[in-house]
Structure 1
């Protein structure tokens, strides 16, 4: 069988690192208030010369180096983002040009915080079809550009960053081989008003600002994430006890705790970076994955579950043998 194998990971963060204390000088909030409700202590904010494309390119370069392949070896780029550099063309094509790739398939996927999981499934299907052989799958965001900095209930939650993986189609002789074992995606557009941006080219002609009803989002997130992780494990033929690590969307520490308890997974199997990076939307899963691989927690052969939920609502999970 053909499987899509993660051969390298990379991440990138803006230079500016903002603590809760620094944020409290500009917003009516406090370190204690933010930590108690979210677990967030720091976030990175993009500067004038840092964009979704530049962060995505830096993350991609790191992933390529980790995989030991050249940019010219890539024939597919799928970039998940809700904050593209331009309405069009796709930010993926800007990354392609920055990497010096003259020709490859390159496009964006828009599924907000679940975007990376959507991008993974799309790339996996294209690689297993035999049309492409090696892909860059990227999640990159500059959410600071769409925040209402006078709304303390939302602006403290988000940060900017990027994460990337190199996926390669490889033949696997048995069920124990490396690669993506299962993916499961969902969407339910009835919940638009719970988490959205109040602008767009065809409605207001503006970029708009992020709006969220936090309590309702929390309730849906815990239920949906636990369910989709269970679904993905069933597809992969695995049990929760087979999981070595969960790499969740880094939205809120309380959501991470509640989701792991609902699925019966110990907290020490959950990769947590929300305290350092806040919610980086589509970037959060690949960014956390890269951190945990580089610090030695996630090792080759281990079973890892990736999961996320975002505005729309969209949500999904992927089971991977590293």
Structure 2
């Protein structure tokens, strides 16, 4: 079976920026309290007239333009999101309609913060198996719409945005650009991160998530590298789910990626759930902080206490 590659990336964030000082006027918190605990300075927040599929379509359009492709070139659209309001049409169908696509297969994946890496693996498998030729993979979430703005432990975390990747078969003679996925979950701890109720609200057991992420995930991330045939010390970049800077930094250190650029987009974007990894990766590439062909560990984790990771080559 042929390997696959990421041909291009794109990202999008709403215009409105919510600062820590803005939050301090809404809930009992402060800039110092937020920075010291989660490392976040600002986050982007979508308005009521900016649905998740609009954010996703903007990111997808940028990825298509960067790849030099037309909407008709895509035959599968995968959208990772946990904040879509409607059940049908799904978000992927609405994204395809916004972009003017012809007749792609359209699927949503709800694996919360690990959604993009699950969707990327699904795209990789689809192309390898011959079920698709080019796939638009989008992670998009509107976490501000499900935030409890009276809970300072969670509302300070969240932001909105979308990131996208175009996945296609590797070129002849080219090494695969998307490595094998390692994925799984801890179902008995699924309650630790949740979006539940009517209306749905985001809540989590912060200490339990922190302990799980910083103790249980490093060996799994090293397993991702081993399956890709690379050591952590050889990685050029590490793009973890942008949950909290106090999780990202110790986790990256425990993985052993001593020479890698570590994505810290959470500082300016907050926790954007499924959007966080593709958005952070797209920014690293756009800023030239990683070069074409550079190796990057992508590792998502969070809701359901799910995780998924793969090593990719940057477009």
Task: Please indicate the TM-score interval, normalised by the length of the shorter structure.
Answer: over 0.9
User: Mean Cα displacement is larger for which, 223-232 or 42-51?
Assistant: 223-232
Tell me whether 303-312 or 278-287 shows the greater mean CA deviation: 303-312
User: How many Å apart are 1:39 and its aligned residue?
Assistant: 0.5
- Please name the residue that 1:152 is paired with: 152
- 1:45 Cα offset (Å): 0.7
Distance 1:4 1:85, change over 3 A: farther
1:309 matched to 2:301? The reply is: yes
Q: Compute the displacement of 1:193 (Å).
A: 2.1
Q: Where does residue 137 of structure 1 map in the other structure? A: 137
**SS at the partner of 1:2?**
coil
* Partner in structure 1 of residue 188 of structure 2: 190
2:168 matches 1:168: yes
The worse-fitting range, judged by mean Cα deviation, of 223-232 and 10-19 is 223-232
Task: Tell me how far 1:234 sits from its aligned partner.
Answer: 1.2
* 1:173 shift after superposition: 2.7
Deviation at 1:88, TM superposition (A): 2.2
Question: Which one of the candidate residues 234, 249, 263 is aligned to 2:255?
Answer: 263
SS at match of 2:65: helix
1:48 corresponds in structure 2 to 48
Pick one of 212, 215, 233 that aligns with 2:207: 215
Alignment of 1:88-127 (within 5 A): 88-127=88-127
Q: Is the 8 A contact 1:257 1:267 kept in 2?
A: no
Q: Distance in 1 between matches of 2:156 and 2:55?
A: 21
1:286 to 274, 278, 284: 278
CA drift at 1:299: 1.1
Q: Which residue number in structure 1 is paired with residue 177 of structure 2?
A: 179
- Verify the 8 A CA contact 2:232 2:258 in the aligned structure 1: no
Q: Structure 1 residue 268: deviation in Å?
A: 5.6
Partner of 2:14 in structure 1?
Answer: 14
Verify: 1:320 aligned to 2:312, yes or no: yes
CA distance in 2: counterparts of 1:74 and 1:125, whole angstroms:
16
* Mapped partners of 2:113, 2:216: distance in 1: 14
In the alignment, which residue of structure 2 is the partner of 1:202? none
Q: CA RMSD in A?
A: 1.3
Per-residue CA distance 1:60-90 (angstroms, 9 max, x = gap): 0000011110111000100000001412221
Q: TM-score, normalised by structure 1?
A: 0.94
Deviations 1:182-241 (A, max 9, x none): 211111211122111232xxxxxx242111110111011112331221111111111112
For 1:12 and 1:228, the matched residues in 2 are separated by 30
- Secondary structure of the 1:196 match is strand
Unaligned runs of 5+ residues in structure 2 are none
Give deviations 1:124-145, integer Å, cap 9, x for gaps: 1000111211000000000111
- C-alpha contact (below 8 Å) 1:85/1:91 kept by paired residues: no
- Structure 1 unmatched ranges of 5 or more: 200-205
Aligned residues: 314
Q: In structure 1, what is the Cα distance between the partners aligned to 2:179 and 2:48?
A: 40
- Match for residue 218 of structure 2 among 226, 229, 243: 226
Alpha-carbon distance in structure 2 between the residues aligned to 1:224 and 1:134? 34
Secondary structure of the residue aligned to 2:253 is helix
Alignment partner, residue 5 of structure 1: 5
CA contact (8 A) 1:301 1:321 kept: yes
Q: Distance in 2 between matches of 1:172 and 1:122?
A: 22
